[in-house]
Structure 1
């Protein structure tokens, strides 16, 4: 049980580290600051606050929602005969939204299990 909890915690910390690097606009592998991150006056702005777990979770859910909306819109366009919505794009979008939803459900299940494990620990 504690192995799964520590695994989830390490994954969350890894995601937070990735988000922290993106928030600071650090070029991957170079350790240099992206010139676009500079303020127009040439002065660096205050360092960005790392994203919280809630913000990360909300962003992930919004991404899944966007994928599902795009998949639905492509399917509708294909059904209406839009030439830009070919079958391959519709099927790929549907599979992407399905995988994203399944991953979200799996994350939810692991979080619920981790919560239950913590709540069942003796004081």
Structure 2
């Protein structure tokens, strides 16, 4: 399964990291918790995943623009339905990217407002 360029293996890797972090005692205080090691999972670099997702959205927008231009110029190889579908895919991808950006900014602001 591939969700906006993020594969299920990447999601599973992130879940394994979150579980490992949750099982670790905070600051070493409290009783030791024995954690069974998770199977080895490929590390996911958030910056690379974000960059790849943005590149895919940009590519979809360029493709939709090119198809729209070709249809407007009268190219018989491009149908109106193909143009509309590619434009909607590009629009949905862009909207999802904006929502992710908004969540990241919100999380950053929340972290910056935390008292240490």
TM-score under structure 1 normalisation? 0.62
After superposition, give the CA deviation of every residue in 1:14-68 in whole Å (9 maximum; x if it has no partner).
Answer: x5862387xxxxxxxxxxxxxxxxxxxxxxxxx9953300100000000000000
Q: Which of the pair has more CA radius of gyration? A: 2
Question: Following superposition of structure 1 onto structure 2, how do residues 28-39 of structure 1 map, counting pairs within 5 Å?
Answer: none
The runs of 5 or more residues in structure 1 that have no matched partner are 1-14, 22-46
CA RMSD between the two structures: 2.1
Cα distance 1:17–1:96, how it changes in 2: closer, same or farther (>3 A)? closer
2:10 is paired with a residue of what secondary structure? Answer: helix
TM-score by length of 2: 0.65
In structure 1, the partner of 2:58 is: 65
Return the alpha-carbon distance in structure 1 between the equivalents of residues 7 and 106 of structure 2: 21
Aligned residues: 84
How far did residue 85 of structure 1 move? Answer: 0.7
Instruction: Describe how 1:22-61 pairs up with structure 2 within 5 A.
Output: 50-61=43-54
Cα pair 1:70 1:93 within 8 Å, conserved: yes
Q: Which has the higher contact order (CA 8 A, sep 6+)?
A: 1
Aligned pair partner of 2:79 in 77, 86, 89:
86
